[in-house]
Each structure stands twice: as structure tokens, then as C-alpha cells.
Amino acid sequence: MSSGVANAKAIDSLKALAEPIRLEIIEALFTGEKCVCDLIQETGLAQSKISFHLKVLKEAGIITDRQSGRWVYYQLDTRTLKSLQNWIKKLRKGCLNEASPCE
Amino acid sequence: MSSGVANAKAIDSLKALAEPIRLEIIEALFTGEKCVCDLIQETGLAQSKISFHLKVLKEAGIITDRQSGRWVYYQLDTRTLKSLQNWIKKLRKGCLNEASPCE
DNA sequence: AGCATATATCAAGAATAATTGATATATCAA
DNA sequence: TTGATATATCAATTATTCTTGATATATGCT
């Protein structure tokens, strides 16, 4: 039996990444943390739309936020992407479940 | 600007993986190629459901199929997972676009 | 030929996700 | 305090994905 918990987390990450706007946001965050207003400017997208996608990314653990005055700054948490990368590696090698561990 | 084509392919893979039944199918294919009837047996799921998910996986390039008589055998193409793993690595490192290549 | 089996596909409905415009809340500045 | 700005959230709509039961197609067996 495979680890349902780990798979559930991976699925959250996968879903979060599988969307063009969210990828755009992630790429925008590479040059450092940004407030929502920065992201609105860079992308030209509606504020509620940006906030919606930021929430999905945040709930998947791909970004974190911090408030400062009126602004909320978002930044990448690359550890989650690293975990996902590792999960895919295990999936690929067939050692996702404890019964057949990676050597 | 990032590579829209590569991102589109990655999104197909991500979407395909982000579903529990499809993960179950992938894991079942680790012990070798299987016909649809094997997968129905192992999972207990309806045939049309299995076929639906196999199609998604196939269109994403994660599995391939081969017909033999009345049976269609599916197997993993781990190269696609390897590509995805690499894509995530690049995303994580911020070198997905040509403008900032990985060192 | 006739029948059974394996699989794909389709249409309808259900469930989930995304978009949009509006409103609410909090913070700062004047 | 008043007004402006930043962000979140909500309700309604639209779009996408998944499920289900039915039917179609192909293959092989008798």
C-alpha cells in the first residue's frame, strides 16, 4: 500500500502547478517577494483573480505570505517544489510505497 | 519570456498526475504492462472509468499502449516523468526560461 | 455465421474549478 | 475623522473534468 498522505500532498502541489496563471505568478516571484499589487501590474490580471490563485498556491505550500502594513508580500517556498521533485522521482522509480523502498 | 510550449507539456503531465485513480493506475503499471482487464481486476473500478483515465495518461505521454488481439496493453513511459522531474527542477531553480539558463 | 469478450466512445449528469463584479476589512495618509 | 488604497472574500456564472450507463467496434472462438 502506498502512502495516501504523501500522495495527497503531492496531488495538491501538482494541481497548483498545473495552471498557466499560477506558473506565471511563480515565475514572477523568482526575482524576489512581491505584493499583490506588483503581481497585478506585471500580469495585467484582475485583483480577485490573482488573489484566488495566490490562495491556491499558498494552500499547496508553494508560496508563503507576510503582511506589512497595507501590503501582503508573497514569496516562493522552494522546499515544497523540492519535495515534489523528489516525489516524482520516487514515482518514476516505483519506490513511492514503503513496500519497495528506493535502494 | 518562458517557453510556452514546454510549459504546456508540463501542465499536461501535471494534470494527468494530479488524480488519485491515475496514480493508482501508474503504480499498478510498475509491475509491468497490463491490459485494461487486469487494471479493472486490480482496482475494482468500472471499465469506462479506467479507459477514460488511461486516455488522459496516454495523451500526456505518461503511458503507451499496444494492441494484441482483443487486448490493449498499457505500460509506463518513464521518460515523460523524467522530463517532468527535470522541468520542476528548473522551475524550482528559476531557470525555466532561456533568459536565465541553469548554470 | 453467430456469440462472447475486450475496449473505446458517447451523451447526460454530477462535481469541481475558474472568472467576474461586488462588497467587506484593514491600514495608512491628510 | 475622512478618504484612499491593498487585499480578501463572496455569490453568481461559466468552464472544465469526472462519472455513469449505454452503445459501438473489433477480435477471436465454436
Give the model confidence (pLDDT) of A14-56 as tens digits: 999 999 999 999 999 999 999 999 999 999 999 999 999 999 9
Here the ipTM equals: 0.94
Which chain A residues in 18-57 lie under 8 Å from chain B, judged by CB atoms? 18-20, 23, 26-27, 30
Handedness of CA A7, A13, A14, A15 (dihedral sign): positive
- With a pLDDT cut of 70, the percent of chain B lying above it is 95
* Chain D bases having any atom below 7 Å from a protein CB: 5-10, 17-22, 26-28
Give the model confidence (pLDDT) of B12-33 as tens digits: 999 999 999 999 999 999 999 9
Structural domains for chain B? 20-83 (1.10.10.10)
Question: Which residues fall within 8 angstroms of residue B23, CB to CB, at 6 or more apart?
Answer: A2, A7, A11, A91, B17
Distance CA A77, CA A5 (A): 20
Selected for mutation to probe chain A from B9, B17, B43, B62 (highest A CB count within 10 Å) is: B17
Tell whether the model's pLDDT for residue B2 goes beyond 60: no
> What's the pLDDT at B8?
96
Tell whether the model's pLDDT for residue B1 goes beyond 70: no
Mean pLDDT of chain B: 94
Selected for mutation to probe chain B from A14, A26, A31, A75 (highest B CB count within 10 Å) is: A14
Give the model confidence (pLDDT) of B64-81 as tens digits: 999 999 999 999 999 999
SS3 A52: helix
